[in-house]
A = this chain, B = another copy of it.
Amino acid sequence: MEEKKQLVECVPNFSEGRDRDIMEKIVEPFRAKEGVKLLDYQSDKDHNRMVVTVVGQPAPLKQAVVAAVGKAVELIDLRKHEGQHPRMGAVDVVPFIPIKNMQMAETIDLSREVAAEISASYDLPVFLYEESASAPHRKNLAAVRKGQFEGMQEKISQTEWRPDFGPVRLHPSAGAVAVGARMPLVAFNVNLDTSNLHIADSIARKVRHLTGGLRFCKAIGVELKDRGIVQVSMNMTDFTRTALYRSMELIRIEARRYGVNVVGSEIIGLVPMAALIDSAVYYLGVEDFSMEQVLESRLME
């Protein structure tokens, strides 16, 4: 019996978005490595930050991530860093996302292994966050990062913010790192035929988890000024449990109250095929469908 190939995604964020040479050196470990595929890397000068998207089998991906973190620690000095995006480290955050034949528990284990290895190799304090968090107050990345690089030395000396791995002091030039496991995020925005932002905001409050809506949905109202319309802009944080079609149909229902219609939607960036196939199966009413029937699913085994 052939063992099924496991695939995991990693989307590390590095605090360098201006120096092309440094960015290339950081992504280098993801290139031409057996079992690892560099899908994308995008940088933003204003944020002074680079986001890398890479997929691979757990063991080689782990090696490549550890190597890239080493490069970033060597080449980025947070004491000289400025940018609009909040950050606490040269390597700011390292999320791992299960893609195929990979349980969340295994993804958490992988994130802990990487946290242990980079803290030991590079003398870095590491926080576990999201599904890997060691306490509820450490789940949310914004809470972990609050205070940023400049305030972090004082923060980690408090018992409740003691790092999960590594020394109880900031790395002088590279700060601290958050490492964790999470589900794939889908950025899904639904457009409405009104220019009234209050309506989009009001609907966002009804569909999002925070204020009484769907469990794995974050949402805000956004104005699309050039089109003269508004949208409910969502982050679907676990499409396997809160499906895209469900948030769409709920928005449609809530919009009726205002005599407003859904006129379209957007998906920003990458999306796992299952998130869309799930909605197709709902709308087409397909009975007893299995993802094993999808040709590409079989090809990736």
Residues of A within 8 A of B (CB): 7, 9, 37, 39, 55, 99, 184, 191, 244-245, 248, 262-267, 269-273, 276-281, 283-289, 293-300
Contact = CB atoms under 8 A, between A and B. Distances in A.
Contacts of A300: 296, 299-300
The A interface, classified by DSSP as helix, strand, loop or mixed, is mixed
B298 A39 contact: yes
Contacts of A293: 267, 269-271
A191 B288 CA distance: 13
A97 to B, nearest CB: 10
Nearest to A9: B295
Contact of A294 (B262, B271, B279, B284): B271
Contacts of A297: 273, 296
Nearest to A276: B280
A294 B273 contact: yes
Nearest to A55: B299
B284 A279 contact: yes
A277 to B, nearest CB: 5
Contacts of A296: 272-273, 296-297, 300
A262 B287 CA distance: 12
Contacts of A269: 293
Nearest 5 CB-CB pairs, A to B? Answer: A283-B283, A280-B280, A276-B280, A279-B280, A264-B285
Contacts of A280: 244, 276-280, 283
Contacts of A265: 284-287
Q: Which of A245, A277, A278, A296 is packed against the most chain B CB atoms within 10 Å?
A: A296
A34 B7 CA distance: 20
A287 B188 CA distance: 11
Contacts of A276: 276-277, 280-281, 284, 294
Contact of A286 (B9, B267, B288, B299): B267
A214 to B, nearest CB: 15
Given A265-B285, A273-B277, A99 B248 contact: no
A124 to B, nearest CB: 29
B289 A272 contact: no
A245 B284 contact: yes
Contacts of A264: 285-287
A272 B285 contact: no
B7 A299 contact: yes
Contact of A244 (B9, B184, B270, B284): B284
Contacts of A277: 273, 276-277, 280
Contacts of A288: 266
Contacts of A191: 287
Nearest to A277: B276
B39 A283 contact: no
A271 B7 CA distance: 22
Given A264-B287, A266-B287, A37 B299 contact: yes
